[in-house]
């Protein structure tokens, strides 16, 4: 007689699906707890597990410590954010200024959607070696993409000959990261649309302002 409680093998989710579901629940739980004003350093594993409807043993199976937790949550939260910027740098820049403003707008929207988590990441990265190394590596990977595009465009004569791709990539990446963090972390009185327009204009001028 078939069991009335055991889920048939054909109906069970693959391990990867279970992991994705679990990580999404944890992400929602962490962001909700942070939104309540609880600092990330004070978030107990038991509280996160309870809020996500999971056991501590399950939590530790996926996340051996809170540093790994924050890194994985940041990966989930920034996927679309980085994708928007990477897409602009990969595209043709016929509508240079309008295109970069749109990309920055998507980045701001993505950051604001996960504001509490990403602000916690920014803070923890300053003193947690593992989290700091992850974030520096992630930003460096994006800066390398920008550098490659600038180098190619300069070689093709689309940019000023004296533009330094390495230094410019560092300036642009740092400017975007810091501006969006401040805009979403403080009550500046400036709308997201205004920030996107100003930041997009600044990027466009740095890259193409003195182009041939």
**Average pLDDT rounded to a whole number, residues 200-206:** 95
pLDDT of residue 138: 93
138 or 15, higher pLDDT: 138
**Average pLDDT rounded to a whole number, residues 31-59:** 91
The 10s digit of each residue's pLDDT in 88-141 is: 888 887 667 888 999 999 999 999 999 999 999 999 999 999 999 999 999 999
Protein fold of 12-64: Arc Repressor Mutant, subunit A (1.10.10)
The end-to-end CA distance of the chain, in Å, is 79
Select from 72, 52, 51, 53 the least CA-distant residue to 62: 72
- Domain boundaries along the sequence of the chain: 12-64, 66-208
CATH 3.50.50.60 fits 66-208, yes or no: no
Q: What mean pLDDT is reported for the chain?
A: 89
pLDDT of residue 2: 39
1 burial via Cβ count (<10 Å: 0-12, 13-18, 19+): exposed
- In the predicted structure, residue 18 carries a pLDDT above the cut 90: no
């Amino acid at each position: 007689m078939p069991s009335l409680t055991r889920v048939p093998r054909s109906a069970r989710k693959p391990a990867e699906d279970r992991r994705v579901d679990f990580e999404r629940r944890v992400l929602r739980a962490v962001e909700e707890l942070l939104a309540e004003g609880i600092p990330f350093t004070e978030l107990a594993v038991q509280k996160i597990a309870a809020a996500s409807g999971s056991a501590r043993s399950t939590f530790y199976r996926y996340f051996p410590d809170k540093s790994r937790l924050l890194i994985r949550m940041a990966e989930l939260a920034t996927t679309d954010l980085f994708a928007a910027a990477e897409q602009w740098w990969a595209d043709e820049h016929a509508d240079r200024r309008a295109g970069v403003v749109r990309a920055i707008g998507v980045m701001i929207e993505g950051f604001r959607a996960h504001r509490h988590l990403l602000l916690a990441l920014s803070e923890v990265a300053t003193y947690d070696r593992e989290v700091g190394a992850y974030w520096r590596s992630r930003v460096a990977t994006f800066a390398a993409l920008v550098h490659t595009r600038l180098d190619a465009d300069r070689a093709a004569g689309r940019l000023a000959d004296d533009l330094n791709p390495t230094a410019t990539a560092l300036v642009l990446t740092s400017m975007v990261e810091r501006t969006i963090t401040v805009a979403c972390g403080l009550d500046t009185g400036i709308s997201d649309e205004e920030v996107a327009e100003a930041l997009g204009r600044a990027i466009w001028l740095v890259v193409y302002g003195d182009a041939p």
